[in-house]
């Protein structure tokens, strides 16, 4: 599985624009995103999963342009906060293709969702049903909802990404009867229609087995309810971050998982529901790279290469122990590779971008580095730790580079401090 954007010529360019030019024009650190790659993945997913529905999970990466690309490629959009919904609305993303998530939905978020007329709301707690009913009571058309079910499936991923196991904050447990209770509550509300069930068993899942198990459990539950029109199996499809890593092959997923659903429906004697999947990372991760400038090189027990970003633009190594590769931009100088650890400039010993990666021995301050596979959960999870301003997002396509999100400035940071 490729870890670089489709149009990249590593470690020189992407989208026909050299990394050096992007760094000179827009500064570093900078996130760079390959529009062609994003669109290609959207098409690949739609084609592989046809006739099933594909909803892009905006939490992986969202900005106006991304909303437009997803809209133009015909995907649905999964939003999980008031901000994501506002962004979709600002671009005029059709509400009839919006699916709304959140394990804790604020009153303002629910009100905004109903005001915009989103197509589906995924209910994640029993109390939410009554709140939604109160807000929808006077509507002519009932609001379609799905109930998020926790199927007790372990996808064997990092603990922080396993969301289908019994003891965690997402969803309503199938085993304890909480899911059945939520379903009863929805069915008791005339202003709500139970469109189906949802589950999201986790993230960075490399094999389809867990999806099959979860799907079969949800179909069995659907059968107890006499069948339902829709089954949403969430996202979580793995990508490769380093050469040799295995991602989830969408073709394999598309062959195996719908078949498991069909088989289980036949066994249970119910009609097959329409299927939805919600990939985030699989659409956008490999489309993005991050550019950093080297600030210092320190030799000791190991060699540390200090760059001008760090855990504020990539918290994933610190959060999940994620591993990345790093390349120096430019033509090889002939210097022999040595192992280095690329670190950020934050006040945290765990502020590491990549440990023990090969780097030319003549690496020095001022060099430009590029880290592949940073399109998902980097910009969207960036922080202002140490009052560091967040990087811009630069798009590339056909030899052009332009900003989608501008660099944050120190003035931006100070503006919110109002005392």
Ligand X SMILES: Cc1ncc(COP(=O)(O)O)c(C=O)c1O
Ligand Y SMILES: N[C@@H](CCCC[NH3+])C(=O)O
What crossing angle do the helices spanning 35-49 and 250-268 adopt, rounded to 10°? 30
Residue 365 near residue 392, CB atoms below 8 Å: no
Tell me whether residue 268 is annotated as binding: no
> Binding residue per annotation — 229?
no
Restricted to residues 7-46, the positions that interact with ligand X (CB under 6 A) are none
Residue 93 binding: pick among ligand Y, ligand X, none (C-beta 5-8 Å cut-off by kind): none
CB of 127 to ligand Y, least distance (A): 22
CA 223 to chain centre: 31
Cα–Cα dist 319/176, whole Å: 30
Interface size with ligand Y, residues (CB under 6 A): 7
Binding mask 124-163 for ligand Y (x = CB under 6 A): -------------------------------------x--
- Active-site residue identified among 42, 80, 199, 347: 347
For residue 343, which phi and psi values (nearest 5 degrees)?
A: -125, 165
The answer to whether residue 78 forms part of the interface with ligand X (CB under 6 A) is: yes
Distance CA 152, CA 201 (A): 8
Distance CA 369, CA 330 (A): 9
Residue 29 or 202 having the CB closest to ligand X: 202
- Residue whose Cβ sits closest to ligand Y: 377
* Interacting partner of 30 out of ligand X, ligand Y, none (Cβ under 5 to 8 A depending on kind): none
Of 169 and 364, the one with the shorter C-beta distance to ligand X is 169
- Work out which of 7, 28, 203, 213 binds ligand Y, going by CB under 6 A: 203
Distance CA 117, CA 108 (A): 14
The binder of ligand X chosen from 280, 309, 372, 391 (CB under 6 A): 280
Decide if residue 278 touches ligand X (CB under 6 A).
Answer: yes
Closest approach of Cβ 204 to ligand X, in Å? 6
Smallest separation, CB 123 to ligand Y (Å): 17
Binding partner selected for residue 279 from ligand X, ligand Y, none, CB under the kind-specific 5 to 8 Å limit:
ligand X
Task: Say whether 208 counts as a known binding-site residue.
Answer: no
Interface with ligand X: number of residues (CB under 6 A)? 16
- Touching ligand Y, residues 161-180 (CB under 6 A): 161
| 280 annotated as a binding-site residue | yes
Question: ∠366-367-372 over CA atoms, to 5°?
Answer: 135
320 is in an annotated binding site: yes
235 scored as a contact of ligand X (CB under 6 A): yes
Residue 59 makes contact with ligand Y by CB under 6 A: yes
CB of 26 to ligand Y, least distance (A): 24
CA distance 288 to 248: 18
Q: Are 323 and 358 in contact (CB under 8 A)?
A: no
329 neighbors 291 (Cβ within 8 angstroms)? yes
Q: Which is nearer to ligand Y, 204 or 312 (CB)?
A: 204
Whether residue 216 is annotated as binding a ligand: the answer is no
Tell me the two tokens of residue 45: 């997913």
Length of the chain: 419
* Cβ distance to ligand X smaller for residue 32 or 99: 99
Q: If we measure between CA atoms, which residue out of 198, 150, 153, 158 comes closest to residue 176?
A: 150
**Taking CB under 6 A as the rule, which mask of x and - marks residues 309-338 in contact with ligand Y?**
-------x----------------------
From 55-63, 212-220, 387-395, 405-413, give the range in contact with ligand X by CB under 6 A.
55-63
Query: Any binding-site annotation on 83?
Result: no
Name which of 203 and 322 has its Cβ closer to ligand X: 203
237 binds ligand X (CB under 6 A): yes
| Among 180-188, 243-251, 278-286, 378-386, the segment contacting ligand X (CB under 6 A) | 278-286
- Is 63 marked active-site? no
Instruction: Please give the annotated binding residues for pyridoxal 5'-phosphate, written as ranges.
Output: 236, 278-281, 377
Instruction: Please give the annotated binding residues for substrate, written as ranges.
Output: 281, 316, 320, 348, 377
By annotation, the residues acting in catalysis are 347
């Amino acid at each position: 599985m490729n870890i670089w954007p489709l149009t990249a010529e590593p470690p020189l360019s992407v989208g026909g624009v050299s990394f050096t030019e992007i760094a000179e024009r827009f500064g570093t650190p900078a996130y760079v995103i390959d529009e062609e790659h994003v669109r290609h993945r959207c098409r690949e997913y739609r084609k592989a999963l046809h006739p099933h529905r594909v909803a892009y999970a905006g939490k992986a990466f969202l900005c106006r342009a991304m909303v437009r690309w997803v809209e133009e490629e015909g995907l649905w959009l999964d939003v999980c906060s008031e901000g994501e919904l506002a962004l979709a609305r600002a671009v005029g993303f059709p509400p009839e293709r919006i699916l709304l998530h959140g394990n804790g939905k604020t009153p303002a978020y629910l009100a905004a969702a109903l005001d915009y007329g989103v197509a589906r709301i995924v209910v994640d707690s029993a109390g939410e049903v009554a709140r939604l009913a109160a807000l929808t009571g006077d509507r002519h058309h009932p609001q379609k909802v799905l109930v998020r079910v926790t199927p007790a499936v372990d996808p064997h991923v990092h603990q922080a990404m396993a969301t289908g196991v019994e003891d965690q904050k997402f969803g309503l447990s199938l085993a304890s009867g909480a899911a059945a209770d939520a379903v009863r509550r929805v069915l008791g509300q005339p202003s709500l229609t139970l469109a189906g069930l949802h589950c999201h068993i986790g993230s960075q899942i490399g094999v389809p087995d867990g999806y099959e198990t979860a799907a079969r459990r949800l179909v069995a539950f659907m059968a107890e309810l006499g069948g339902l029109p829709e089954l949403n199996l969430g996202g979580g499809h793995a990508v490769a971050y380093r050469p040799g890593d295995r991602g989830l092959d969408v073709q394999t997923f598309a062959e195996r998982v719908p078949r498991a659903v069909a088989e289980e429906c036949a066994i249970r004697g119910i009609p097959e529901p329409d299927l939805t999947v919600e990939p985030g990372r699989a659409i956008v991760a490999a489309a993005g790279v991050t550019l950093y400038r080297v600030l210092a090189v320190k030799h000791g027990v190991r060699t540390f290469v200090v760059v001008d970003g760090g855990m504020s633009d990539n918290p994933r190594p610190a959060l999940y122990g994620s591993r990345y590769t790093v390349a120096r931009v430019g033509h090889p100088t002939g210097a022999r590779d040595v192992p280095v650890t690329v670190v950020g400039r934050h006040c945290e010993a765990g502020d590491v971008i990549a440990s023990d990666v090969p780097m030319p021995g003549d690496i020095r301050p001022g060099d430009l580095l590029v880290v592949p596979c940073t399109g998902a959960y980097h910009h969207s999870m960036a922080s202002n730790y140490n009052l560091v301003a967040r990087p811009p997002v630069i798009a590339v396509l056909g030899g052009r580079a332009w900003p989608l999100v501008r660099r944050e400035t120190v003035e931006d940071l100070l503006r919110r401090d109002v005392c």
